[in-house]
């Protein structure tokens, strides 16, 4: 397998600047009254989601007009470009609306369909993970590292909630949950950061689109973990909706075997 290329320094610098902008823009609106609408799929979107994505897109276009951009709220532009930015302005909009601080701005970058850079910016918490292909993940400027875990029976497992799984998916997730030592609901994408920092061992999700996981994969992998779909395939532009991340490859392999029982994802 060919290693993913390391993004140029100016791309990494822009990603950090976008995260700074997101933090400065979102923080004053946290736990304040904002306009909320319902999207076609029934999920909520706020004026902060749409305004922030527009800001981030404008900065990318101004600096790298030849790059593509894919965002949760405003769709895709030049998605066939070699370098494509993937934005989720508020991942965990429901948490943002409810005043919970685990929401984040996700800033991802793909090269030829493979995630190579990810910034997970938590404006309300002041937490930031930065993952870049080929270099260690940083948490608030300090190297982050997953922890060893020999088996699912010793693992702390996290997921957003049971309502994000189909009935068939939930039945398979429950096979893993029934073995895991600790089970935790909630946390949004913050759980992936905590996995990268060695506090959680396993995160399993469904209903994940490109904008949900693109920034997370480089963070997890740069900390020594592994993140794939439920069939164990590397994540890319056409992946989803089922993703799994583990700090230890032994846990990843065992969880995949439980999730794959009787299924061909």
How is the chain split into domains, by residue range?
Answer: 9-142, 152-259
Largest Cα–Cα separation, the chain: 50
The per-residue pLDDT for range 185-235, each reduced to its tens digit, is: 998 999 999 999 999 999 999 999 999 999 999 999 999 999 999 999 999
The per-residue pLDDT for range 240-255, each reduced to its tens digit, is: 999 999 999 999 999 9
- 152-259 has which fold? D-Maltodextrin-Binding Protein; domain 2 (3.40.190)
- Is residue 49 scored above 80 in pLDDT? yes
Band (261; pLDDT cuts 50, 70, 90): low
- Is residue 2 scored above 70 in pLDDT? no
Mean pLDDT of the 143-167 span: 97
The per-residue pLDDT for range 88-118, each reduced to its tens digit, is: 999 999 999 999 999 999 999 999 999 999 9
The pLDDT, as a whole number, for residue 187 is 87
Q: Is 87 exposed, middle or buried (0-12, 13-18, 19+ CB in 10 A)?
A: buried
The pLDDT, as a whole number, for residue 217 is 98
How far is residue 72 CA from its own chain's centroid? 13
| Closest to 124 measured CA to CA, from 45, 194, 208, 22 | 22
* E strand spans, 2-67: 36-38, 44-46
- % of the chain beyond a pLDDT of 70: 97
| Rounded Cα–Cα distance for residues 98 and 236 (Å) | 31
Band (157; pLDDT cuts 50, 70, 90): very high
CA geometry: angle at 7 spanning 5 and 13, to 5°?
165
- Is residue 1 scored above 70 in pLDDT? no
Mean pLDDT of the 176-189 span: 95
- Is residue 75 scored above 90 in pLDDT? no
**CATH node for 9-142:** 3.30.540.10
First to last CA, the chain: 22
- Is residue 262 scored above 60 in pLDDT? no
* E strand spans, 39-113: 44-46, 68-71, 75-77, 83-91, 104-111
């Amino acid at each position: 397998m060919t290693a993913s290329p390391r993004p140029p320094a100016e791309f990494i610098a822009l990603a950090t600047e976008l995260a700074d902008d997101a933090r400065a823009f979102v923080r004053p609106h946290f736990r304040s009254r904002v306009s909320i609408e319902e999207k076609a799929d029934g999920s909520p979107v706020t004026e902060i989601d749409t305004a922030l994505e527009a800001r981030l897109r404008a900065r990318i276009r101004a600096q790298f007009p030849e790059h593509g951009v894919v965002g949760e709220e405003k769709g895709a532009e030049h998605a066939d470009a070699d370098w494509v930015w993937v934005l989720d302005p508020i991942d965990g909009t429901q948490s943002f609306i409810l005043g919970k601080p685990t929401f984040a701005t996700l800033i991802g970058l793909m090269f030829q369909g493979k995630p190579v850079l990810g910034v997970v910016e938590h404006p309300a918490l002041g937490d930031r993970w930065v993952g870049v292909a080929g270099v260690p993940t940083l948490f608030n400027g300090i190297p982050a590292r997953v922890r060893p875990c020999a088996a699912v029976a010793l693992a702390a497992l996290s997921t957003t909630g049971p309502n994000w799984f189909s009935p068939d998916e939930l039945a398979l997730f429950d096979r893993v949950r029934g073995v895991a030592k600790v089970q935790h609901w909630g946390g949004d994408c913050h759980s992936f950061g905590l996995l990268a920092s060695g506090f959680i061992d396993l995160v399993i999700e469904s209903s994940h689109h490109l904008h949900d996981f693109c920034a997370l994969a480089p963070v997890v992998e740069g900390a020594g973990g592994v993140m794939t779909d439920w069939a164990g395939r590397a994540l890319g532009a056409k992946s989803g909706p089922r993703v799994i991340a583990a700090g230890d490859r032994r846990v990843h392999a065992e969880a995949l075997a439980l999730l794959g029982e009787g299924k061909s994802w």
